[in-house]
Amino acid sequence: MEIPIQQSLVFSPYWVDLSTSGFDWEKFQDKIDALPEVLYNLLTDEKTSNFIKTLTQKYAPLSARGADIARIIRDVVLTDIYIGDMPAQISSKLGVDQNTATEIARTIVSQLFAPVIDDIKKIQLQKFGRLPGSGAAQSSTPRPIPGADLPETGGNIIDLRNK
């Protein structure tokens, strides 16, 4: 069964805000122009719209929230949202519990983002300086040397008896 064109735009991360007043299309287009082609294709591909539609059918509370899911996906790809914050965004914007939000985020990453995950990681790392599970932000700042904050002793021996 084919989705009517107007309804399918709701599920498209690219077109979801086509009729939203106040949406800054010029700023949006600048971000789109800076994307690698594979990520642009992800946002505009009919398969992505179909994925979102299927996702909303799988999770009953999302049945009317396809546009919100499309926006979250778009915002992750455009680096407006950190990918590690996707479960929290899903929970708050879609009104689902944290476990469901995490499951939905994992589904998006493992099924929709899988073919382009390296490209997403690259732009996320450029923007946020970190990736989920990598711990602290990765930067060019040197890490502190353990023990560098110890008091000067004039040698390598610290007398702990006089503390």
Tell me the per-residue pLDDT of 101-116, one tens digit each, with 9 for 90 and over: 999 999 999 999 999 9
pLDDT higher than 80, residue 3: no
Long-range contacts of 43-50 (CB under 8 A, 24+ apart): 43/12, 43/13, 43/14, 43/73, 43/74, 43/77, 44/12, 44/14, 46/8, 48/11, 48/12, 48/13, 48/73, 48/112, 49/3, 49/8, 49/11, 49/12, 50/3, 50/11
Q: pLDDT tier at 130 (50, 70, 90 boundaries)?
A: confident
- Each residue's pLDDT tens digit, 8-55: 667 899 999 887 888 898 999 999 999 999 999 999 999 999 999 999
Residue 35 has what pLDDT?
A: 95
Q: pLDDT tier at 149 (50, 70, 90 boundaries)?
A: very low
pLDDT higher than 50, residue 98: yes
Q: What rounded mean pLDDT belongs to the chain?
A: 81
pLDDT higher than 60, residue 95: yes
Residue 78 has what pLDDT?
A: 96
Structure tokens at 35: 């994307």
This prediction has a pTM of 0.75
